[in-house]
């Protein structure tokens, strides 16, 4: 049976490891288990060539509304309506959603003292261009404000979080809900849009009036299905008296003015194949890809280390020499925004590792997720002292057929973190485990997934005879 090994890299994990491991492990004496619980993961890993994750990303569309991040003027954030009959046709991306889809938005309201009563409303609207009623269904949804829902607070680099209580920031909290299976809506939310009509699916608010610095942000992510064809948009308005009426939103769509400020008017984002200085940019458009799955094998051979390293959210200029750009492509974009969804915000990563132990003794397999310095060379380098900037705040789930564990990570730029989890694999045994995460908003790619099993030590057997005493 696979046995989960406790981690002693942090006091928080070490103090709780004994109880949860005993409930999952194969029968073992207390003394033997305590000795194993005190063994920490390897501090130094052997050199490893990073290999492509070689993941399959689905083709589901996501409406991605993240530019401008800080909104100060009313207008369209993203519109996939037709430009026909609109005052500024090029401000509409003319895309029709059907079947399964997702929507992500993240925007900030930042006001002066004089304007502090103004709440930012981001309205998600849908238009039915067909001659039949169309129903939009939302199956999963999570949405949080920076204040008071999910303030940015200091957290340990690595902690067990089976109860979904550790988060820092709204993007971190909403992706944790999905990983923990807490984002499902029962019953699903349904709205039917009549032929040729516009309907409001959601108004989400970003208030600042009661905050000391009048600065607040909201992250929102939903997945669902459309049983026909719809065009969608997100629109920004400000009000002291509640969300906008439908007729105002219809007028704004016709007028076609974009929300301000435009973040990249002077220095526009760079295509992936460009040379020289590279500007990634924020996303406003329709991306292709919501789920990303990969499967790899790890063979444990006698007297040799087994190690595999794979990039997570690799992007242009940051592939660790694999040449693999995982950034979701954009089916539609505005010409002053990103060319790809470089951060892959809210994309669901599932990596399965099939392990086979060909060694003569049981082996330990360690799972790592950390944050080497970004590079396009095939090398893994960490900062001697991790930088102040946080590059990853988020949850990770590690599971087998009969075991699951949730971890919360806070990774700084260049940080080398100890193992998340570890398994024991008996001689001749086959097992598999899965690592899952939704890439959290506000994270900065790339990160590195490492799966490592140190070589077995020489088998020591006591051949001395045993004498029975009377």
For residue 343, pLDDT beyond 90: yes
The CA distance from 224 to 229, in Å, is 13
Mean pLDDT, rounded, for 270-279: 92
The CA distance from 6 to 242, in Å, is 51
For residue 16, pLDDT beyond 70: no
Give tens-digit pLDDT for 460-469: 444 444 444 4
**Contact, 76 vs 257, CB < 8 A?**
yes
The CA distance from 105 to 218, in Å, is 8
**Contact, 153 vs 168, CB < 8 A?**
yes
11-24 vs 30-37: helix crossing angle, rounded to 10: 140
- Determine the 3-state secondary structure of 20 from DSSP: helix
For residue 39, pLDDT beyond 60: no
Name, in order, each residue with C-beta under 8 angstroms of 237's C-beta and a sequence gap of 6 or more.
74, 120, 121, 123, 243, 244, 248, 249, 252
The CA distance from 99 to 288, in Å, is 13
Give tens-digit pLDDT for 139-166: 999 999 999 999 999 999 999 999 999 9
The CA distance from 467 to 470, in Å, is 10
pLDDT value of residue 303 = 80
pLDDT value of residue 457 = 58
Mean pLDDT, rounded, for 28-35: 29
Q: How confident is the model at residue 456 (pLDDT cuts 50, 70, 90)?
A: confident
Assess whether the previous peptide bond of 261 is cis (omega < 30° from 0).
yes
Mean pLDDT, rounded, for 124-151: 98
Mean pLDDT, rounded, for 59-82: 98
Mean pLDDT value across the chain:
89
272, HSE (Cβ side, Cα atoms, 13 Å):
18
Helix (H) or strand (E) holding 190: strand 184-193
Mean pLDDT, rounded, for 123-143: 98
Name, in order, each residue with C-beta under 8 angstroms of 155's C-beta and a sequence gap of 6 or more.
166, 168, 393, 408, 410
pLDDT value of residue 266 = 86
For residue 26, pLDDT beyond 80: no
For residue 76, pLDDT beyond 80: yes
pTM of the predicted structure, to 2 decimals: 0.88
Give tens-digit pLDDT for 378-434: 999 999 999 999 999 999 999 999 999 999 999 999 999 999 999 999 999 999 999
Mean pLDDT, rounded, for 359-384: 95
Q: Determine the length of the chain.
A: 470
The CA distance from 294 to 324, in Å, is 13
The CA distance from 310 to 75, in Å, is 41
For residue 192, pLDDT beyond 90: yes
Helix (H) or strand (E) holding 181: none
Q: Which residue has the tokens 């409303």?
A: 121
Give tens-digit pLDDT for 287-296: 999 999 999 9
Mean pLDDT, rounded, for 265-292: 95
Q: For a pLDDT cut of 90, what percent of the chain falls above it?
A: 84
pLDDT value of residue 37 = 31
For residue 350, pLDDT beyond 80: yes
Helix (H) or strand (E) holding 213: none
For residue 20, pLDDT beyond 50: no
Q: Which residue has the tokens 């299905």?
A: 225
**Contact, 271 vs 339, CB < 8 A?**
yes
Q: How confident is the model at residue 207 (pLDDT cuts 50, 70, 90)?
A: very high
């Amino acid at each position: 049976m696979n046995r989960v090994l406790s981690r002693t890299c942090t006091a928080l994990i070490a103090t709780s490891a004994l109880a949860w491991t005993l409930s999952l492990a194969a029968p073992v004496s207390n003394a033997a288990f305590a000795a194993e619980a005190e063994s920490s993961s390897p501090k130094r890993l052997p050199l490893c060539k990073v290999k492509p994750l070689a993941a399959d990303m689905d083709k589901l569309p996501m409406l991605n509304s993240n530019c401008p991040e800080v909104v100060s003027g009313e207008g369209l954030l993203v519109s996939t309506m037709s430009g026909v009959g609109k005052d500024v046709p090029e401000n509409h991306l003319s895309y029709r959603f059907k079947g399964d889809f997702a929507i992500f938005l993240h925007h900030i309201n930042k006001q002066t003292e004089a304007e502090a009563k103004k709440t930012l409303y981001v309205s998600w609207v849908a238009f039915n261009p067909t001659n039949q009623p169309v129903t939009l269904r939302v199956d999963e949804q999570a949405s949080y404000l920076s204040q008071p829902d999910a303030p940015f607070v200091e957290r340990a680099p690595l902690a067990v979080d089976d109860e979904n209580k550790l988060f820092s920031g709204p993007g971190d909290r909403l992706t944790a809900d999905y990983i923990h299976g807490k984002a499902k809506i029962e019953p699903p939310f349904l709205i039917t849009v009549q032929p040729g009509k516009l309907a409001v699916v959601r108004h989400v608010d970003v208030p600042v009036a009661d905050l000391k610095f009048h600065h607040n942000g909201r992250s929102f992510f939903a997945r669902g299905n459309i049983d026909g064809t719809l065009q969608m948009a997100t629109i920004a308005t400000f009000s002291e008296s509640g969300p906008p009426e439908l007729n105002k939103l219809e007028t704004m769509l016709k007028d076609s003015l974009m929300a301000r400020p435009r973040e990249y008017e002077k220095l526009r984002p760079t295509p992936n194949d460009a040379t020289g200085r590279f500007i990634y940019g924020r996303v406003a458009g329709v991306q292709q890809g919501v789920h990303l799955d990969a499967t790899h094998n790890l063979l444990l051979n006698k007297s040799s280390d087994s190690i595999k390293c794979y990039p997570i959210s690799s992007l242009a200029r940051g592939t660790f020499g694999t040449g693999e750009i995982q950034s979701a492509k954009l089916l539609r974009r505005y010409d002053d925004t990103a060319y790809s969804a470089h951060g892959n915000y809210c994309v669901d990563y599932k990596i399965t590792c099939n392990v086979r132990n060909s060694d003569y003794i049981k082996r330990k397999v360690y799972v790592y997720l950390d944050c080497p310095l970004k590079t396009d060379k095939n090398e893994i380098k960490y900062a001697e002292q991790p930088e102040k900037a946080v590059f990853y705040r988020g949850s990770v789930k590690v599971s087998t057929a009969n075991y699951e564990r949730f971890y919360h990570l806070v990774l700084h730029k260049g940080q080398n973190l100890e193992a998340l989890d570890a398994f024991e694999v008996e001689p001749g045994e086959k097992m598999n485990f899965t690592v899952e995460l939704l890439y959290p908003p506000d994270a900065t790619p790339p990160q590195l997934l490492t799966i490592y099993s140190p070589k077995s030590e020489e088998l020591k057997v006591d051949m001395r005879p045993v004498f029975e005493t009377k």
